[in-house]
Amino acid sequence: MNANERYPNLHVLGHPLILHKLTHMRDLNTSTKTFRQLLREISLLMGYEITRNLPLIYQPVQTPLTTFDAPVISGKKLAVVPILRAGVGMAEGLLELLPSARVGHIGVYRDHDTHRPVEYLVKLPEPEGRLFILTDPMLATGYSAVHAVDVLLRAGVTANNIHFLALVAAPEGIDVFFQHHPDVPVYVAAVDDHLNENAYIVPGLGDAGDRLFGTK
């Protein structure tokens, strides 16, 4: 896991399995079914990395041979919050790894002309003492991610209890995000080259929501 020199809270998870699966997701000829499966698998793999610092305690466990003190997660409460709609695919992978996590939803769409987020839904679990993992496959302009973090902060979540998880990021989106929220960790599989005139990541993987749900 590589931290960025300019942005210490940017973590690029360049694991070979993640990169291999991401390459297949980028392929124009990958089917909706396969795209969906790969997104779930990558999200699960990324989940191992972003939860590596969960606190542990030791409690007695009786094995077939003896009793000893074994490590368990110390009761840290978790929430997975997809940014609708493409973030849902990533949430499914994380929930396989974290089946007891609560689930929230933040619904935003990008205005066609301004490329700025428009909010239409917010549903969140109780924030106290809970780590919130925001999911969105693409960190493009960065404004939807910034808006989602703003929503959590207004709900009473502290910045140190927010992680943002994406597959692919554009440099422009990274800049915007950390201008607003430098203390929130961002985990991505890859940082691509740039945004085009329509605010799509290049080379990217296209519209993640359309490819995930088979829409146009």
For residue range 76-131, what is the model confidence (pLDDT) as tens digits?
Answer: 799 999 999 899 999 999 999 999 999 999 998 878 777 788 899 999 999 988 99
Is the pLDDT at 29 greater than 70? The verdict is: yes
DSSP-derived secondary structure for 41-70: HHHHHHHHHHTTT--EEEEEEE-SS-EEEE
| CATH 3.40.50.2020 at 2-213, yes or no | yes
Active site residues: 110, 114, 207, 210
What mean pLDDT is predicted for residues 30-48?
Answer: 96
Indicate the pLDDT class of residue 2, thresholds 50, 70 and 90. Answer: low
* Main-chain dihedrals φ then ψ at residue 40, nearest 5 degrees: -65, -45
pLDDT at residue 28 in the model: 95
Residues 5 and 127: their CA atoms lie apart, in Å, by 31
For the segment 154-206, what is each residue's pLDDT rounded down to a tens digit?
Answer: 999 999 999 999 999 999 999 999 999 999 999 999 999 999 999 999 999 99
Indicate the pLDDT class of residue 3, thresholds 50, 70 and 90. Answer: low
For 108, the 3-state DSSP assignment is: strand
Residues 126 and 141: their CA atoms lie apart, in Å, by 29
Global pTM reads 0.92
For 161, the 3-state DSSP assignment is: helix
pLDDT at residue 98 in the model: 93
Interacting residues of 20 by C-beta distance below 8 A, sequence separation 6+: none
Residues 104 and 155: their CA atoms lie apart, in Å, by 12
